[in-house]
Amino acid sequence: MKKEHLSWILRLIISALFIVSAVAKLYPSPYFAISTFEVKQLYPLGFSEGIAPYFSRILIGIEFALGIAILIPHYLKKITIPATILLLTVFTLHLSYTTFSSGNAGNCGCFGELIPMTPVEAIIKNLLAIGLLVWLFKRNPSDKKSNFWLFTSVALGCILGVFMMAPMKVNATPVLSFPNEVQNIGISNDTALNTVLATVEKAIDSSNKNKVALKIDEPVAKKSGFANYFPGIDQDKKLLCFFAPGCEHCQETAKQLNEMRRKDKNFPAVSIIFMDEEADKIPEFFNVAGTKYPYQVVDIMSFWNLIGNTRDTPGVKYLWNGNEILFYDGINTNKFNATELKKTINMNYSELKK
């Protein structure tokens, strides 16, 4: 194979790598995917909530531009290849730090939700790409007379295109909502509803005082930190889910939980914290799930702070008296396991501690 042909093959591979990476960050929804990228990659680097949305779009636009620029001869050796190596080096250093500080867990967000990758997998991918780029830099001849306006037009056009595909959004005010059977009691505001729920829970506790002696094989009650979202979340067995309304994996998980609940009358109560991305799809989400659950919608930053920056959606946390027993997240090794969850829920606390 001629060196010219090999050079073009490598340029096509690197171009595809950057373009697919940029497209993946806009999948399945530009807002959700970019939000994940911002939290996973930019917030840990010190970018504020106000600046990160702009910088993330510019960065994705640059990825598009580099993917195109690597295929055109203008400023290939002077700008394109060095800039591509620099970008990959910055990402690699950040991923190395993330791996060292938080471990090789979760999806790094390099390919959004389209192709989940752990930080170590992403580091290997970046190092291979850097190696190919160094080879190209050494083998390619010096730049001839280049068209500066064509080069800059590609870069600016890609950045502008990303802003058009994913315009800036203003975070909505958190919304607390409950299923129809709860809403129909005629309460008109959240405070009154929470008061009624707390009163009902106290009445249930009072009626069950004679059973307290039987409840000895269970964890000591503690505060999970979610009681301000859902009253009673720290009492008995509960499931707290972290979902994105437009996420198909989240919808499927909610559907599985509903099927489990229908087969088991003693199945723990389910509550959901939704990310404020595609919140208009919440009705569609519950249609797929087959039922409605109490839920709260929070802004992007709050959502990832609650679920944890090293975790991914769908997230399902099994709480018992406020103690975290299980926490499923993502779609890889720690993904939701209905069989394991059912078995764990039916276990006594003494069995869990073994």
Which residue in this structure is represented by tokens 């840990």?
A: 44
Q: Which two tokens stand for residue 195?
A: 């008061």
DSSP 201-228: HHHHHHHTGGGGGGTTSSPPP---S-TT
Question: Any bridge partners for residue 271, and if so which?
Answer: 240
Query: 3-class SS at 272?
Result: strand
Closest CA to 39 of 100, 92, 113: 113
DSSP H helices in 268-348:
282-289, 300-307, 338-345
Confidence (pTM)? 0.59
Angle, to 10 degrees, between the axis of helix 3-24 and the axis of helix 52-69? 160
CA distance 307 to 273: 9
Long-range interactions of 156-160: CB distance < 8 A, separation 24+: 157/65, 158/61, 158/62, 158/64, 158/65, 158/68, 159/57, 159/58, 159/61, 159/62, 159/64, 159/65, 160/61
Query: How deeply is 163 buried, as exposed, middle or buried, from its count of CB atoms within 10 A (0-12, 13-18, 19+)?
Result: middle
Query: 3-class SS at 274?
Result: strand
User: Digits of tens for pLDDT over the chain (354 positions)?
Assistant: 567 788 899 999 999 999 999 888 887 677 666 776 766 667 666 677 778 788 888 989 999 999 999 999 899 999 999 999 999 998 899 889 878 877 776 677 778 777 878 889 999 999 999 999 999 999 888 888 888 888 899 999 999 999 988 887 654 444 455 444 433 333 344 555 555 555 555 555 555 554 444 456 789 999 999 999 999 999 999 999 999 998 899 999 999 999 999 999 889 999 999 988 888 899 999 999 999 999 999 988 888 889 987 888 999 999 999 999 999 998 888 999 999 999 999 998 888 877
Which residue in this structure is represented by tokens 């595809």?
A: 16
Closest CA to 218 of 109, 112, 347: 347
pLDDT at 259: 95
Task: Calculate the alpha carbon distances from 33 to 26, 59, 116 in Å.
Answer: 5, 13, 12
